[in-house]
Structure formats: structure tokens, C-alpha cells
Chain A
Amino acid sequence: QKEVEQNSGPLSVPEGAIASLNCTYSDRGSQSFFWYRQYSGKSPELIMFIYSNGDKEDGRFTAQLNKASQYVSLLIRDSQPSDSATYLCAVSRDSSYKLIFGSGTRLLVRP
């Protein structure tokens, strides 16, 4: 079992729809959770981080964390073609600063 698992996709949604990206992790001691966006040929860029159970909103993005079920999700409202990218989930499993990454979900937003 991978430490951080994501469906590779592609997840295809129409423009304007809500895209829902999911991630599960295996280490119950994980404390910090991150979502990165990576465009083809580019390096990852941080979108959001979340530490506490519940929802965290930032513009069109909402991160959701459920530690009991060991999953974290990212919702993108009003999806735009420019949101088409690979989304990486990352988890910090202790107080160190190491991140463990999932292999990413490719999102395609159809105009």
C-alpha cells in the first residue's frame, strides 16, 4: 500500500462544474496536508494546506480533511480550462518537514 494514494485520472469535468479530487493516506500520525498544482513541464506550486479536521476555503478552492477516515480532498468550484493540470496531494507524517507525495491526479476541464 502506498503511503499517499490518489486516483491517476484523468478526471474530466465541464467548464463551470465542481471538480473533486481525493487523496488517502496510511499513516494515522500524519499532521499536515498539502495540495500542489503542477502544469505539464512545470514544477509543483502550493495551492493550499490544511491541518485541522473540517473544511478550509480559499477562493474557488476548498480543502477538506477527515483524519478519522484518513482522507483529504480538494474541491475546485467553477472549474476553468486553466485549472487543467496534475494535482498532487502531500502529507507530512510527523513534526519534520518532509513531505510524502501522492502520484497525482490529472484534471481536464473541458471548455
Chain B
Amino acid sequence: DVKVTQSSRYLVKRTGEKVFLECVQDMDHENMFWYRQDPGLGLRLIYFSYDVKMKEKGDIPEGYSVSREKKERFSLILESASTNQTSMYLCASSFTTYGYTFGSGTRLTVV
């Protein structure tokens, strides 16, 4: 089975901090995605990547950046954390259009 591992299950950060969320997949998938999930809003796409060093903006990229230096790792960066970035962050990977495999999620609280 594909495993998508997110480095932290829970994080608490202060406003203004730079925050790194790490995601690693072990099945050589080209495609990786970062979503955030908020009650009533569902999952919203932040950034995605089709290959190493490639990145594309999703629907809500403001305040975020990403890095993909290696195929298996896709990092989400909050340049200066704000309280409205408190959310559940979900990483996913896929090989084809046969759907995603999600990581277990990181619940980030910005205080």
C-alpha cells in the first residue's frame, strides 16, 4: 500500500512564525498535493506538483509556498503564520487519475 506520511499530527505555532509542514510518499508518485480542510468549507487545494521542482498554485495559495526538491517529498511553507491559517492540512499523492492517497493530516493551531 502507498504510504503518505506527514511529519506532525499536531502543531501549535505563534503568529508570525515560519512553519514547515512535511510530506513524504513511498511509491514514486509524480503528483503531490496540499489541501486544507475547514468545517463547512471542505477540502481546498493550496498547491500541487506534477514533478520534482515543479509547482502550481491551487485555489488558495496566498500566504503559502511549497518546495519539491525530491520526488518523494513535498513541503508546505507558511511564510508568516496567521490565525486564519489554523486548520487541518492534508497532503496527498497520486500516480494517475485513480484518486489520491492521503496522509494522516496535520492539525495546525496558530496562536
Q: Which residue numbers of A lie inside 8 Å of B, CB to CB?
A: 4, 8, 31-32, 34, 36, 42-46, 49, 88, 90, 92, 95, 97-104
| A8 to B39 CA separation, bound complex (whole angstroms) | 10
Contacts of A103 in B (CB 8 A): 40-42
Interface check B87, CB cutoff 8 A: no
Closest to A8 in B: B40
Q: Check B99 against A49 for contact (C-beta < 8 Å).
A: yes
Contacts of B35 in A (CB 8 A): 101
Q: Check A97 against B102 for contact (C-beta < 8 Å).
A: no
Task: Please provide the chain B residues from 26 to 51 with a CB less than 8 Å away from any CB of chain A in the complex.
Answer: 31, 33, 35, 40-45, 48, 50
Contacts of B97 in A (CB 8 A): 31-32, 92, 95, 97
> A32-B97, A49-B98 are known contacts. Are A98 and B105 too (CB-CB below 8 A)?
no
- Shortest C-beta distance, A21 to chain B (Å), equals 14
| A98 to B49 CA separation, bound complex (whole angstroms) | 10
> A45-B102, A46-B100, A49-B99 are known contacts. Are A97 and B31 too (CB-CB below 8 A)?
yes
Interface bracket on B? 20 to 34
Contacts A4-B42, A44-B102, A97-B48 aside, 8 further interface pairs with beta carbons under 8 A come to A31-B97, A36-B99, A42-B105, A92-B97, A97-B94, A97-B97, A98-B58, A101-B35
In the assembled complex, 27 residue pairs joining A and B whose CB atoms fall closer than 8 Å, in A order, are A8-B40, A31-B97, A32-B97, A36-B99, A42-B104, A43-B90, A43-B102, A43-B104, A46-B99, A49-B98, A88-B42, A88-B43, A90-B99, A92-B97, A97-B96, A98-B45, A98-B58, A99-B45, A99-B100, A100-B45, A101-B35, A101-B43, A101-B44, A103-B40, A103-B41, A103-B42, A104-B42
Contacts of B98 in A (CB 8 A): 49
Contacts of A95 in B (CB 8 A): 97
Q: Check A97 against B50 for contact (C-beta < 8 Å).
A: yes
Interface check B101, CB cutoff 8 A: yes
Q: Check A43 against B99 for contact (C-beta < 8 Å).
A: no
